[in-house]
Amino acid sequence: MSVSPESTDRAPAVFAGSAAYPTSGPGPVVSIGNFDGVHLGHRWLLDKVVDRARALGVPSCIYTFDPPPRVVLAPSLVRPRIVAWPERVRLLGEAGIDQVVVERFTRAFAQHPPSWFVDEILGRRLRPSAMVVGYDFRFGRARAGDLALIRSRLPDLPIEQVDAHDVDGVVSSSRIRDLVAAGDMRTARRLLGRPHRIHGTVVPGDKRGRTIGFPTANLESAAELVPPAGVYAVRARVDGGPWRDAVANLGVRPTFDKDGFSIEVHVLDFRGDIYGAQVEVEFLARLRSEQRFADILALQAQIRRDIEHARACLTEPA
């Protein structure tokens, strides 16, 4: 899928709930969903939302929940988020979305029947000029609401339902989570339309990388979806600076008998003290699994091979 040339990195307006949505002005084109990852399947739908809104001369609007309903209603089934909320809003803005309405989801809200949602949230608060929804769209308590209900209660509202976007199968957030969890960063990248990223703060480590000639930034990250232990070809940027080629080691560093999962990034051809810096890391390819080496010399030799392998991966076309 190609991204519309009119896409923008302008930040959308964010409203804290539908009650805060403006009571005057043109009704937006609305889509409802979680949009975790803002992947190619989402972009397929978002392009249609933006195109319809521009044709009508009204805002494009995403209505979503925080926390997602499953967190409140079925916490044992919750899966890690692909991207945190600030990143999700930024990506929606890049897709051309003008407005994001974030409804606080509670058990009390969940008790409302689907008919109340249509009448109150759509009919009175958002007042959409049109809607665009996904192929599997359902809403309301027990997911009992569907397009037939909306059409029966808002008969003059145009609604377009978009087919699933297919890339060797339906593109979905669940599928992408499984790919990242398996370390298949190449396929995850194809479905996301960009590499999977995590963010972190550089914190002091044991400085062992520096002593063996390969200084690393030790990241403390709140990312929920992190690839499994292994060595990866990545790109990294520090405090919003330029993207630089790098190698990341995720795991427990068995050669040094360390405990606890760590994220260490060696930025190629870079020197500098970046303690406390904010670092973004995007994963291009998994190079190998984590392993124990007989001695430091063997580890150094493997790191050199990893760097050469990473350079080759990072020069491959997307």
The pLDDT assigned to 62 comes to 98
Q: Are residues 211 and 114 in the same domain?
A: no
pLDDT at 1 over 50: no
Same domain assignment for residues 152 and 200: no
pLDDT of residue 211: 62
Residue 259: pLDDT band by 50, 70, 90 thresholds? Answer: low
Task: Examine the domain organization and report whether 144 and 214 are in the same domain.
Answer: no
Residue 309 has pLDDT above 90, yes or no: yes
Q: Is 264 found in the same domain as 132?
A: no
Query: Are 18 and 139 contained in the same domain?
Result: yes
Together in a domain, 201 and 153: no
Residue 181, domain member (yes or no): no
Extract long-range pairs of 204-209: CB within 8 Å, 24+ residues apart.
204/275, 205/262, 205/264, 206/256, 208/256, 209/264, 209/266
Q: Please count the structural domains in the chain.
A: 2
- How many angstroms separate the CA atoms of 230 and 289, rounded? 4
Q: DSSP letter at 255? A: G
pLDDT at 170 exceeding the cut of 70: yes
- Give long-range contacts, CB 8 A cutoff, 24+ apart: 154-158: 154/118, 154/122, 154/123, 157/122, 157/128, 157/130, 157/131, 158/129, 158/130, 158/131
31 lies in the same domain as 157: yes
| Assigned domain for 131 exists | yes
Would you say residue 108 lies in a domain?
yes
> Which CATH number covers residue 30?
3.40.50.620
Query: What pLDDT does residue 244 have?
Result: 96
Note the Cα 236 to chain centre separation in Å.
Answer: 17
pLDDT band of residue 295 (cuts 50, 70, 90) is: confident
**Both tokens assigned to 123:** 């009919």
C-alpha–C-alpha distance, residues 162 and 135, integer Å = 5
CATH number (domain holding residue 220): 2.40.30.30
Report the chain's mean pLDDT, rounded to a whole number: 91
Give the residue among 180, 114, 130 at the shortest CA–CA distance from 30: 130
Global pTM reads: 0.89
Could you tell me which residue, 114 or 3, shows the higher pLDDT? 114
Q: What angle do CA 233, 239, 240 make, to 5 degrees?
A: 75
Last residue in a domain, options 112, 142, 161: 161
Domain holding 20, by residue range, is: 13-161
Task: Report d(CA 81, CA 70) in Å as an integer.
Answer: 12
Tell me what percent of the residues of the chain surpass a pLDDT of 70. Answer: 92
